[in-house]
């Protein structure tokens, strides 16, 4: 079945540094990728929608300069958390869609970010 690979699975970084998280679709072309954030014991909140070759669409309240998203190809989207702070510590998970909402979404295994 379709697989989405997310890397790294865990990352610890110091305040002020930037962290890049990769989301790859391994056996299909993902026209759209989504980035979600999940706080402990909370639901998944959509951060942004990433379309290949165009700018990402951010949800209300998400800082686009803080969370840079690049979807350079049909198989790769990256999320860069810039100038990370402890409050950015969270579980980030991506998903990929082949197109219309009829397709089941495939999720990566998530990245647990800890900012010290």
- Binding residues for another protein, rule: CB under 8 A, are 32, 34, 41-46, 49, 91, 93, 95, 97, 99-110, 112
Q: Which is nearer to another protein, 34 or 67 (CB)?
A: 34
Q: Which residues fall within 8 angstroms of residue 78, CB to CB, at 6 or more apart?
A: 20, 21, 22, 23, 69, 70, 71, 72
Q: Which is nearer to another protein, 52 or 82 (CB)?
A: 52
Q: Which is nearer to another protein, 82 or 89 (CB)?
A: 89
* Helical (H) or strand (E) element with 50: strand 44-51
Shortest distance in whole angstroms from residue 110 CB to another protein: 4
- d(CA 89, CA 104) in angstroms, rounded, equals 28
- d(CA 96, CA 17) in angstroms, rounded, equals 27
Shortest distance in whole angstroms from residue 83 CB to another protein: 25
Shortest distance in whole angstroms from residue 87 CB to another protein: 20
Q: Which is nearer to another protein, 89 or 103 (CB)?
A: 103
- d(CA 108, CA 116) in angstroms, rounded, equals 24
């Amino acid at each position: 079945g379709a697989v989405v690979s997310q890397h790294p699975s865990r990352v610890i970084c110091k305040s002020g540094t930037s962290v890049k998280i990769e989301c790859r679709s391994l056996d299909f072309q993902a026209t759209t990728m989504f980035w979600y954030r999940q706080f402990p014991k909370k639901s998944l909140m959509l951060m942004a929608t990433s379309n290949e070759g165009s700018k990402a669409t951010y949800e209300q309240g998400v800082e686009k300069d803080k969370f840079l998203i690049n979807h350079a190809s049909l198989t790769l989207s990256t999320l860069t958390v810039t100038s990370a702070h402890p409050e950015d510590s969270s579980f980030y998970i991506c998903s990929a869609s082949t197109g219309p909402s009829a397709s089941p979404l495939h999720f990566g295994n998530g990245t647990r970010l800890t900012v010290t």
